[in-house]
Amino acid sequence: MVLVECRFGDAAAVEMMVDSGAQHSVISAPLARRLGLMNRLDRSEQGVAAGVGRARIIGKLRSVAIYLKNVEFALDFSVLEVQDQLLLLGLDQLRRFRCIIDLEQNVLVFGGAGGVQVPFLEQERVRRYIQGTPLDGCRQM
């Protein structure tokens, strides 16, 4: 499991799972509410997300400012109607920002070779995340 730390404005830092197997980047409705993002929800793009499980997509958040290693990025997220706190970076945004998942250096590189390097969370923090979080969850750091 690959996790990176990110921040939404002045909100607390949260863990974001990097999932190259997910077609779209997603955020759970409870986390979007906690971060004060639901007033920006575009409900015109609803549907069902299917993969390991199924969840209702209640809309889309566009150009959400998040900070990774003090660099601001405007990311798009589908909002899922699930109970867990979930934040996942999928292929849509990985491709858009020409990301490289560098498993040798343990960094996610935004902008291709020579871009902004965002370190993976160390394995001990990943273990604590897994132990302290429900399936597909995301905890406040």
Residues forming the active site: 19
- Sheet with 107-110: list strands edge to edge: 100-102, 107-110, 116-119
Q: Is residue 5 classed as helix, strand or coil in its secondary structure?
A: strand
DSSP 55-76: EEEEEEEEEEEEEETTEEEEEE
Q: How far is CA 71 from CA 6, 28, 58, 77, in A?
A: 10, 23, 29, 18
Largest CA distance in the chain: 41
User: What tokens appear for 75 in the block?
Assistant: 């990311």
